Amino acid sequence: MKAYIKRLPKQFRDLLYLAGKLASQKGMNVYLVGGCVRDLILGAPNLDLDIVVQPECPNFTSELAARLNARMVVHQRFKTATLITPRKIKLDIATARSEIYPQPASLPVVIPAGIKEDLARRDFTINALAIDLLPDNFGGLVDFYNGRQDLEKKLIRILHDSSFIDDPTRIIRAVRFEQRLKFKIEPYSLELLKDASGAGMLNQVSPHRLRDELMLILKEEGASRHILRLNTLAGLDFIHSKCELPRKNLIYLSQIEKEISSFRSMFPKRRALDTWLMYLTALLANLSKEEIKKFSRRFGLRKGEEKRVISFKKFSPSAVLKLTRKNVPVGEIYKILEPLSFEVILLIKAKYGKKTLRLNIENYLRHHNGIRLYASGNDLNKLGLLPGAYYKRILNQLLHLQLEGKISSRRAALSWIRRFKCPRN
Ligand code: CTP
C-alpha cells in the first residue's frame, strides 16, 4: 500500500479497497480523485471521497452499494451516484469523462473518456491528481500534469489556456484555493485569469452557479481575505453592480470575522451561523430593499436568507440608535433583539462597534436570548385564573421580571402569579 492512502482512516481505506476489488473483478479501472487526493498529499483533513470508474458500467455502483449495505442516490442528469454507508461514509461515484464547452461559460457536453482526459478537464493541476484503487496498485499516485510538484511549489496552475473562459467560476475557485492553502496563482495562469475577468466572463455564468461558488468562498475561514483578493483580481460587479469595497467596508469585514469567532467560542452549543450570508449582507449594503429582493430572486436565495438580508437593512438603524443609549432597560433590549437572527445581531455589533451597544448585545446573548418563562398559560389556568386576553399581559410582565432578575425560579413565578385575583369559574 502506498504512502498517501495510508493517511485515510481505516474504514475509509477498507471501503476504497472494496471498490477497487470489485472494479478489478469486472475488468474496470477505479480511482480516487479531486480534493481528497490533494488534501491527502498536503496532510489536510478531507473525507469527501470522489471516485471515478472507467469504462462506464451501470452495475458497478449498485453492486458496490449492495456489498457495502449502502443507500444509493443516483443523479441521472450528471450520470453520477452517491453511496451512503450505514456508518454515514459518503462516496461519490462518476464515470471518467471529458468535456466539451459548446459556448464559453455554458454547461459542458460530456463524453466518456479515459482517466487522463478526465483529469485534463479539471480546474487546476493540484486538483487533477488521482490515486489508483485497483488491488495490484492500491494507493499508487496518478499524476499526468505535475500536480504533486505544484503542491510542493505551492502553485495554483490551470491545465489549458481556455480554462477560465470555459468555466469562469474557476476565477473564484482560484482565489479560494490560493487563499485557503496560502499558495500563489502561477504567473501565466494569473495573466489568463485577469484576461478572463477583464472580459467580463463571470457575468456570463448563470446566477445560480455563481451563487454556489460565491457561497463556497464566503464560507471559507478568513473569508474577508478571500473577498479582498477577489475584489483585487476580478472586482465584485459579478455579484451586483452596487457591490463595492471601500476602506470602511474592509474594516467591517474583518470585524465580522472577529464577531463570528467570538460567538463560536462563547456559545459553542448555539446553532451554526450562516457566515456566508453575513458577508453577503455586508457586500449588499448599498442595495435598496427592492434591489435586494430582485437580487434574491436572481440568485435563488431562500426566503429565510432574503429575510435576514432585508431585516438587517430595515432594523439595524433603529436598533443602533436604541442600543447605543446607556441604561436601556433589559426588557427594551430584549424587544429589539429577540426578533432578529444571530446573523443580523452580530452584523449590527460588527458594524457599529460602540462600547455600550456591544455590551448591551453581549448581555442579551449571554443571559436573555431564548429565555424560557418559568410559568405558562396552563399554570395560570391551574392556579384558577379564568382564561382571557389578560394572560398575555401577565406572561409579559413575568418575562420582564425574569429579564430583570426579579424572578429567578419557577417557585417564585408561581407565587407571584397567585397574587392575581381574577374571576373564577
Ligand atoms: N472541478 C473542476 N472545475 C470546477 C469544479 C470542480 O475541475 N469548476 C473538479 C476539481 O478536480 C475538483 C473536483 O472537481 O477537485 C471536485 O470539486 P469540488 O468538490 O468543488 O472541489 P474540491 O477540490 O473537493 O474542493 P473543496 O476542498 O473545497 O471541497
Residues 273-321 pLDDT 10s: 999 999 999 999 999 999 999 999 999 999 999 999 999 999 999 999 9
Which residue bears the cell 482512516?
Answer: 9
Of ligand 1's listed atoms, the one at least distance from the Cα of 119 is 11
Q: pLDDT value at position 386? A: 86
Q: Report helix, strand or coil for 264.
A: helix
The C-alpha atoms of residue 365 and residue 267 are separated, in whole angstroms, by 9
Cell readout for 134 is 485497483
Closest alpha carbon to 409 in 366, 372, 377, 378: 372
Q: Which CATH number fits domain 163-312: 1.10.3090.10, 3.80.30.20, 1.10.10.10, 3.40.309.10?
A: 1.10.3090.10
Q: Do domains 4-153 and 163-312 have the same CATH topology?
A: no
**Mutation pick for ligand 1 pocket among 123, 169, 175 (CB with most ligand atoms within 8 Å):** 123
Distance 136 CA to ligand 1 centre (A): 27
For the chain, give every domain's residue range. Answer: 4-153, 163-312, 315-368, 377-418
Of ligand 1's listed atoms, the one at least distance from the Cα of 173 is 8
Beta partners for residue 184, in sequence order: 155
Antiparallel, parallel or unpaired: β 97-100 and 109-112: antiparallel
User: Ligand 1 — pocket residues by CB below 6 A?
Assistant: 34-35, 48, 50, 122-123, 127, 167, 169-170, 173
**Mutation pick for ligand 1 pocket among 122, 172, 206 (CB with most ligand atoms within 8 Å):** 122
Per-residue pLDDT reduced to its tens digit, 121-148: 999 999 999 999 999 999 999 999 999 9
Distance 197 CA to ligand 1 centre (A): 20
pLDDT category of residue 107 using cuts at 50, 70 and 90: confident
Full-model pTM: 0.91
Which residue has its alpha carbon closest to ligand 1 atom 26?
35
Omega prior to 207 cis, within 30 of 0: no
Per-residue pLDDT reduced to its tens digit, 324-380: 998 888 889 999 999 999 999 999 999 988 899 999 999 999 989 888 899 998 999
Q: pLDDT value at position 422? A: 60
CATH of domain 4-153: 3.30.460.10
